[in-house]
Chains A and B, each alone.
Chain A
Amino acid sequence: MDLSLILEIDDLTVGATTPGAAPILDHISFRLSTSEIFGIYGESGAGKTVLSRALANWLPESLQYRAGRVAFAGHDILGAGAREVRVGRDIAYIGSKPQSALDPTVPVGVQIAEKLHSVRPEWNGRECRDRVMQLLGEVRIPSPKERYWDYPSKFSGGMMQRAMIVDAICAEPAVLIADNVTQPLDVTIAAQIVALLHDLCTRHKMATIYLSSSLPTLGQFGDRTAVLYQGRFVEQQPFDELLASPQSDYTRKAIASVPRMWETAEGPLARRQAQGEAPLMKVENVHRTYRARKRGTFNSHSNIQAVRGVTLDIMPRENFGIVGESGCGKSTLTRLLAWLETPDSGSIVLNGTSLGALSSRELIRKRNEFQLLLQDPYNALPPRTTVGRMIEESLLIRGSIKRADLRTRVIAEMAEVGLAAELYDQLPNALSTGERQRISIARALILDPKLLILDETLSALDQREQGRLIELFSKLQEKNDLTYVFISHDLAMVRKVCTRIAVMYLGEMVEIADNHDLFFDPQHPYTKALLSAAPTLEQKPFDPSDFLLEGEPPSPIDIPAGCSFASRCPKAFGRCRMETPALVEHSPGRFAACHLLDGDQAQAAA
């Protein structure tokens, strides 16, 4: 027997406990050797999670093994060998929901040490604690000795995933199963986690099975990769060969559907301009700070500075994109733009009228001109209201139309967004995400708005539906002279639709530029980092390893002096920590807030 062979999977078949149901995993077979990284690609629903659970002998109660063998170092863990192999010690698992993986009432470190002690009882409590602290440092959690005692709610998503990596590797498992571990994370954090995991797997000689729904992420490992489709492996080859010569149609399609950012034909990415246009919406130096009670003090508050002095002009018929990672203030900015919240200072002027100056009655009328579309079409629609009623609601509120005409008007609007007229009297329960999203669109459009604010509106959709909606948006734009503001974390989507893009970091705009300029010639180091970390299958116009960010964004409660990005910027120098760079137009139409650009200018002047 090959000594380095660690895991053998033969004909693994898993299905529901109810007899007759189609299997979820169908005759899966593969071999895994020590220190090998094995990537498995599958879109959602392909059976990735069931496979990862089946390998750890951890099927949910509704599923059962129907056939096959999972052998760890020669022991069949489903049968006689179950005693020899211990899940958690020999085979470890990391999932995609780090935030809910641990008991919220016990400190993170304590729980990891508890796990370690229960799978390795031969190590005493002290040894376990020391090892966990040391590993927390190794996965680059700052001040591991203090973080050991922190509760899960104090960890960000990225930090928690690092802690879960420690949890998985602390008992020195021989096989590590990583199920979509970067899925919930921001791109810059995900890139760190992938690099970290890769490094740990090689250093600790763990055989790793890395399941992902993103081909580019698997590409970062580059080893043997299998494609899982409807519970079967449709092919298995090294990643480069998989890309170069896919053996099955499914793989070819999967590769083709990965969005391209650079090797793409430029779409109609210029807006129709008119002479002497004024901006449709002028956002002038808006600030929004939330107050939160500080724990452990009698009545002091900490200020969470969510949006700090954002200034923007949104031109008519423009597709304006705002990108940034979680916690950067995107959502607050969206709420300000939609006037759901008022800014603490600064003003928002729509079509010449300052929103702050309107009375509440005038505001309702004005709201016809700008409408917000939300991310989650499941929570945004009332479940016990018919589709037609939902769409006509805002007309009813305004009482601007006769009841007799209402139905015709709504059905016309539904046709415009591609909803069948029969849906008028139906409830939204059975509708797909795409159809639900169309209801939201119809609901907004029926007021004849000028400006649509789309908060991650397309993120919940699959690639095909997303494409269709993008088409719909551009058709509607042509017809109704619409202006869109897309708020998103999805760079590929923004690349596809937006004419001008603003990059947000810690409540501020760090760069605003036209689509092409931003993607091909980014100026701000954060923009570069964001683009480098984006998982794609393309050659990037700059070296991603130059811009792999360390650490996490600072908390919006204690914003450091100087440039807010200085703490993570690979190019930061003395001045960055003293002085906040202003957002300046360094060449026509291109804005960035970075001292380095100043330096260029200074050099050019000299």
Chain B
Amino acid sequence: MLILEFLVKRIAQGLLIVFITSLIIFTLLRVVPGDPVRLIVGGMAPPDVVEKVATKMGLRDPIIVQYGRYMSGLLQGDLGQSYLRPRSGMIAAGGQYVDPTKSDMALVTDLILERLPFTLQLGGMALLFALLISFPVGIAGGLHQHRWQNALAFGMQSLFVSIPNFWLAIVLILFLSIKLKLLPALGYQGFSYVILPALVLAVEIAPFIIRTLTTSLGEVMQAPFIDEARVRGLSRRRIVYSHALRNAAVPLVNLLGIQLSTLIGGVLVIEYIFDYPGLGNLTVVSVVGRDFPVIQGIAITTSAVFVFINIIVDLVAYLIDPRVEI
């Protein structure tokens, strides 16, 4: 009952957030300089052609009218069509005139659905790697506050947090792919192409997980109920794994919700560097080409994913600790 109430409330909230995000993105795209029509028709086209095409595309209507048109499409599940990408998959180049109002342009929904799984795979693998790195280090650091394990955790997190992701990406490509030929780096032709970019992203978020885990586990281990568990007859293993970790997990879960935004930001750069065919790559290309419908679609998708993950995070936090207000 409580969970149902929570879900209804949070999903309503989430829809509002997505709506506001879309409005902001929509307005900003049209307010900032950079006319997509100029890019579509090419630099040589006379101004009256630009105006004609723009009017035909509806780009000269008041923003609120454009937004209304867009939203009514969105409610029917239609995110519009790309200005630049024809269905064939080629990108329209400057000189070659493709009429963006015609139906041979790719559907934004298709573009996103095609890329989203790749990004989710990358994000998921990055998170998995980050957890695999941080858990042993963080737990050991938390359990042995005054020993070398804690120093190791501290050193590792300081090192990781100071490495710029683009630099690490380039270094890893150089060594692991080019010199040692262990892993493929650029493009995507199979699962092994995920590993390198995921590792780079993992190094970016791991220090925060290590930090939170060491401090919160260290604090929980000082709690009276942990001390008392020993005299109640519980084994050390049980005390640590089913009580201490459980309590230390609450701040960690909340942190992961926030770290996700770092991950999304990181994906943009990393996908571009590795030429990984995910949403991040699509975003960069679309922003450069002023492909409004695609940018809007990606913004809406990422904000929806973000809202969804935060609902899950809060739900998990509540399931772990029933005192958490939801």
In Å, the complex CA distance between A103 and B250 comes to 13
- Tell me whether A103 and B243 are in contact (CB under 8 A): yes
Whole-angstrom distance between the Cβ of A316 and the nearest chain B Cβ: 47
**Distance, CA A487 to CA B170, complexed state (A):** 70
Contacts of A56 on B, CB cut-off 8 Å? 231
Chain A interface (Cβ < 8 Å from any Cβ of B)? 53, 56, 58, 60, 86-89, 93, 95, 97, 100-106, 114-115, 118-119, 151, 153, 167, 171, 295-298
Partner of A296, one of B2, B230, B231: B2
Tell me, in angstroms, the Cα distance from A298 to B323 when the chains sit together.
Answer: 18
- Min CB distance, A601 to chain B, in Å? 50
In the complex, the answer to whether B231 meets A100 with C-beta atoms within 8 Å is no
Contact between B320 and A105, CB atoms less than 8 A apart? yes
Least CB distance, A211 to chain B, in whole angstroms: 14
With the chains together, A261 CA to B9 CA distance in Å? 57
Closest to A60 in B: B227
The residues of A that contact B238 with a CB separation of less than 8 Å are 114, 118
Contact B2 A95 (CB under 8 A): no
Report yes or no: B234 in contact with A97, Cβ–Cβ below 8 A: no
Residue among B5, B233, B321 making CB contact with A119, cutoff 8 Å:
B233
Between A and B, 28 residue pairs with Cβ closer than 8 Å are A58-B230, A58-B231, A87-B231, A88-B231, A88-B232, A88-B233, A93-B228, A93-B231, A95-B228, A100-B223, A101-B225, A101-B228, A102-B228, A103-B225, A103-B246, A103-B247, A104-B247, A105-B250, A105-B323, A114-B234, A115-B233, A115-B234, A118-B238, A119-B233, A151-B322, A167-B232, A297-B5, A298-B5
B190 to chain A, nearest CB (A): 42
The answer to whether B225 touches A104 (Cβ under 8 A) is yes
Q: How far is the CA of A115 from the CA of B242 in the complex (A)?
A: 12
Known A103-B243, A105-B246, A298-B9; further 15 A-B contacts with Cβ < 8 A: A86-B233, A87-B231, A88-B231, A100-B223, A101-B224, A103-B246, A104-B225, A105-B321, A106-B243, A114-B238, A115-B233, A118-B234, A151-B323, A295-B2, A296-B2
Q: Which residues of B contact A (CB under 8 A)?
A: 1-2, 5, 9, 223-225, 227-235, 238, 242-243, 246-247, 250, 320-323
Most buried by B among A151, A167, A295: A295
Task: Give chain A's interface secondary structure class.
Answer: loop
Contact A118 B223 (CB under 8 A): no
A104 touches B323 (CB 8 A): yes
Q: In the complex, which residues of chain B have a beta carbon less than 8 angstroms from the beta carbon of A167?
A: 232
When distances are taken between beta carbons in the complex, the residues of chain A under 8 Å from B1 are 296
Residue of A nearest to B227 (CB): A60
A517 to B284, CA, bound (A): 86
* CB-based contact A153/B233 at 8 Å: no
Q: How far is the CB of A63 from chain B (nearest CB, A)?
A: 13
| A408–B5 alpha-carbon span in the complex (Å) | 64
Closest to A151 in B: B322
B250: chain A residues within 8 A (beta carbon): 105
Pairs A-B, 8 closest by C-beta atoms: A88-B233, A119-B233, A100-B224, A296-B2, A105-B321, A58-B231, A93-B231, A103-B243
Complex: A105 Cα to B225 Cα, angstroms: 11
Q: How far is the CB of A450 from chain B (nearest CB, A)?
A: 43
Q: Cβ of B5: which chain A residues have Cβ within 8 Å of it?
A: 296-298
Given contacts A118-B235, A151-B323, contact A105 B247 (CB under 8 A): yes
- Nearest CB of B to A72, in Å: 14
Question: Shortest distance in angstroms between A83's beta carbon and chain B's nearest beta carbon?
Answer: 14
How many angstroms between the C-alpha atoms of A155 and B225 in the bound complex? 15
In the complex, A97→B224 CA distance in Å? 9
**A residues less than 8 Å from B232 (CB atoms):** 88, 93, 115, 167
